[in-house]
A and B are shown apart, each in its own frame.
Chain A
């Protein structure tokens, strides 16, 4: 989250953060019964925010795999905030607009992912992520199959 905030303010050194600066909230952390959970835009394939957007500032990119929010066009109506189940969009008081994670497309890997100490944040094509889990499961099964032979 710190990485996200620093990136959004264009700061590369933590020392340069000042107490008065209010970064735009693109991601936040919450705790559910002790388990941490990151609220950030999931770039839903059938995102309700795109349907709800009145100004067209939210649109699908990269074959629908990314939802891009154009800050300039946003009128700050908040319709998207109403429909998003992930709290991914927030109203920014200074900008008088909504802000949302745009995946930092200029970077090869988003800074938040790079910063995550435990690799809890993963930047990967969703079905290949599922494929890796299948592989790991298959490997576990293979190891435990001895009894059948």
Chain B
């Protein structure tokens, strides 16, 4: 321990990236270049750029040539509020495009304390291994005794073997071992790096887990300025309603909101409201199952839940969660309103290491196909696979993890299910990643956000809710037209979505949580927290020169690199569209009844979006001028 070798950075960065070749077992520490840090900041910026640089076109995501990148940001490890996020990225075996995940907890600060900003893994080990990183040193150790175990048991065994309760673990479960296309990584048995199949990439590399432990300092260049910025941030939280709601109910607070607006994607997007929704609301889960409100490192919001099922057939079950997305994917989509089943299903997904969102979507799609007679009972292993059948949901989650029976097809996700069963109309995804969050038929700007996201359908890549609260004069000042503040109008929305995407990429680079830094019902506050204070803290921590305008362009740069990656894989404008169902079928119920997306309107929206981004309108490819202005490549 003690003072480590001087890094070229005055603070924030550890200054080193760990490169591991699993094929020959070689491990290398490379210095983090100053220019790279200034252009890409960290986290998703590092992972996206490294994937662009190191991968060949059409690399098979499950081949040794894929890279698995685990990246922290410059603020992780400092007392910056909510600097707890970790990025795990690779080319996705589910979608074939760039894949990345973002999860909270305590792993990414520890990665910094262990002396690294990021870990890049390539190749394939000839036998099961795990990576043990401790205070600047790394080694690959046999994981033969861990293989086959679920997440909790894996964590327990590792803590015993290494003789340390305080290690932090990013592991895959049996699903990753069996190359389930949407197998995920779970950090410390709680936070899921859920989407895009990062667990499968680990499985294909025979890498069971990455374990970190460290005692090194993360420097802060200007402590006085840093403290002032942190205090200024804390002040902005006073009276912030969003954080109070999150603390009380977690993300599950959104259940009531979805019902109110009638934007559920229930029954595989056949219904917009849920009968009996009160049973699975945030309040219901709080009352019946909540043991404790928890949170990630250094976070003032505390949106995590720790829940328990103490009676009934699934007792005892102790698990983190549930999140809104658990309720959406394992409740709304398969139309299950028994909260104990949802919680149990969520627990199983965490234990097996499966993305609950794709799992729920795949099973829901199968349910619709079964009810329509496209799938026979024989094909689904003799199970009565109808909507609302909770036992079937639990049954197939396990089958997916081990690729048994019908679980083998389910394990490939909705896009491939649609192709194999000639039923892709019922596969509700964009570029292979299933639609989550909400049904956007009555909210075209949301549809745009999901459709153009660089990792496939994702509501977190952008922030389209700005038009719900921005004031007309603010809209005029920032987006050139007051129409952006008008919910009914689509004018200026393409520009708004593009801006929001660049803006919300920044926390993914810094390693901070969007809930703490990028949520408000006041547009000036979005700028204050998400740009001004974020930049202040970045400069105070790292001592690097950066303005908030330059920071915004870093977000834009990273987004463009991701787009280039997908373009190189052959994706063009045609793939930036929401699923056909949203254009063909109207919402059957709820306040949005009768809504559907209109092709002309959407095309216009997409045109405007491409224009705002400086991308070619016909192909969606970033123009040379745009790239040059951003300094890419």
Q: Which residues of A contact B (CB under 8 A)?
A: 63-64
CA distance A63 to B2 in the complex (A): 7
Q: Which residues of chain B are near A63, meaning CB under 8 Å?
A: 1-2
CA distance A135 to B1 in the complex (A): 23
CA distance A63 to B1 in the complex (A): 7
Q: State how many angstroms separate the Cβ of A147 from the closest Cβ of chain B.
A: 19
Interface string of B1-21 (1 = CB under 8 A from A): 110000000000000000000
Interface string of B131-172 (1 = CB under 8 A from A): 000000000000000000000000000000000000000000
Q: State how many angstroms separate the Cβ of B110 from the closest Cβ of chain A.
A: 16
Q: State how many angstroms separate the Cβ of A26 from the closest Cβ of chain B.
A: 26
Majority DSSP secondary structure for residues of B touching A: loop
Q: State how many angstroms separate the Cβ of A142 from the closest Cβ of chain B.
A: 13
CA distance A6 to B91 in the complex (A): 62
What 3 pairs across the A-B complex have the smallest Cβ distances?
Answer: A63-B2, A63-B1, A64-B2
Q: Which residues of chain A are near B1, meaning CB under 8 Å?
A: 63
Can you list 3 residue pairs at the A/B interface with Cβ under 8 Å? A63-B1, A63-B2, A64-B2
Closest to B215 in A: A127
Q: Which residues of chain B are near A64, meaning CB under 8 Å?
A: 2
CA distance A64 to B3 in the complex (A): 11
Q: State how many angstroms separate the Cβ of A70 from the closest Cβ of chain B.
A: 22
Closest to A125 in B: B1
Closest to A128 in B: B164
Interface string of B115-126 (1 = CB under 8 A from A): 000000000000
Interface string of B263-304 (1 = CB under 8 A from A): 000000000000000000000000000000000000000000
Closest to B166 in A: A131
Q: State how many angstroms separate the Cβ of A36 from the closest Cβ of chain B.
A: 30
Closest to B164 in A: A128
Closest to B2 in A: A63
| Residues of chain B in range 1-53 having any CB-CB distance to chain A below 8 Å | 1-2
Q: State how many angstroms separate the Cβ of A123 from the closest Cβ of chain B.
A: 14
| Residues of chain B in range 209-242 having any CB-CB distance to chain A below 8 Å | none
CA distance A64 to B1 in the complex (A): 9
Q: Which residues of chain A are near B2, meaning CB under 8 Å?
A: 63-64
Closest to A65 in B: B1
CA distance A26 to B598 in the complex (A): 88
Q: State how many angstroms separate the Cβ of B217 from the closest Cβ of chain A.
A: 15
CA distance A64 to B2 in the complex (A): 9
Q: State how many angstroms separate the Cβ of A55 from the closest Cβ of chain B.
A: 25
Interface string of B456-473 (1 = CB under 8 A from A): 000000000000000000
Closest to B163 in A: A128
Q: State how many angstroms separate the Cβ of B335 from the closest Cβ of chain A.
A: 38
Q: State how many angstroms separate the Cβ of B293 from the closest Cβ of chain A.
A: 15
CA distance A14 to B2 in the complex (A): 41
Q: State how many angstroms separate the Cβ of A50 from the closest Cβ of chain B.
A: 16
Closest to B3 in A: A63
Closest to A64 in B: B2
Closest to A45 in B: B2
CA distance A36 to B2 in the complex (A): 34
Q: State how many angstroms separate the Cβ of B103 from the closest Cβ of chain A.
A: 26
Q: State how many angstroms separate the Cβ of B1 from the closest Cβ of chain A.
A: 6
Q: State how many angstroms separate the Cβ of A145 from the closest Cβ of chain B.
A: 13
Q: State how many angstroms separate the Cβ of B140 from the closest Cβ of chain A.
A: 24
